Structure 1
Amino acid sequence: MRWYAYVAYFFGGVFLVNAIPHSVSGVLGRAFPSPFSSPPGQGESTALVNVLWGTFNLVVGYLLVSRVGTFDLRRTREVLVVGAGGLLMAVMLAQLFGPLYGGA
């Protein structure tokens, strides 16, 4: 496996995890910060914007994981790289949005 496939898998995990809060907030009809809000990442975007942004993140994550290299769920190293990207993004999102929404 070429090194760039692992980089793609890592960022695929980042995009897949980032899709979750935007998609869920949008489907629930709730405003949530997005890169398009003012100020970016702090102001809130509409539910529709979040559904679209979540879908974009899902598509990019899918493309990075499934179309770069030969990703296989039975290859532990590849799954761990995707998981590491997802975990890093989840921790960053928790630190960013925790204070805004009453989390630790």
Structure 2
Amino acid sequence: MFVVNAIGWFMSGVFLVNVLPHLIRGISGDRFPSPFSKPHGKKLSHPTLNVVWAFINLSIFLTIFYFNHFSFTEIYGLVMLIGGFTMAIYLSRYFAEKDKE
């Protein structure tokens, strides 16, 4: 059961960090890549679509968070932070190469 919980916490960190760039760019009115663009994640999506994608990610995070009892006294809190850090590094490298407007 540890592995399943650890994967859940890792993914919750991934989804939480993925909220930030889409929400920030969306509410700033800037176009930004999303899974809804063609090709996926390459072309720039409308700001409103990025806000929607941010809230989908937030909803997934909150669902995982709700069903797993969170505590930083357990290893799962660390696993969530590692997931978030991993996603942040990945996104910084991925979006450094994205199409610029």
User: Which residue type is aligned with residue 54 of structure 1?
Assistant: A
Are residues 1:20 and 2:20 paired?
yes
Q: Which residue of 2 aligns with 1:84?
A: 82
Identity of aligned pairs, percent?
Answer: 35
Q: How many angstroms does 1:62 deviate by?
A: 1.5
Q: How many angstroms does 1:100 deviate by?
A: 2.7
- Structure 1 unpaired stretches of 5+: none
> Where do residues 6-85 of structure 1 align in structure 2 (5 Å cutoff)?
6-68=6-68, 70-72=69-71, 74-85=72-83
- Structure 2 unpaired stretches of 5+: none
Once the two structures are superposed, what CA deviation does each residue of 1:34-55 show, in whole Å capped at 9, x if it has no partner?
0011211110100110000000
Following TM superposition, the consecutive aligned residue runs of length 4 or more in structure 1 with deviations greater than 4 angstroms are: none
Secondary structure of the residue aligned to 2:89 is helix
TM-score by length of 1: 0.87
TM-score by length of 2: 0.89
Aligned residues: 100
CA distance in 1, matches of 2:94, 2:75: 29
Q: Please give the root-mean-square deviation of Cα atoms over the aligned residues, in Å.
A: 1.7
Q: How many angstroms does 1:65 deviate by?
A: 2.2
CA distance in 2, matches of 1:3, 1:99: 33
User: Which residue type is aligned with residue 28 of structure 2?
Assistant: L
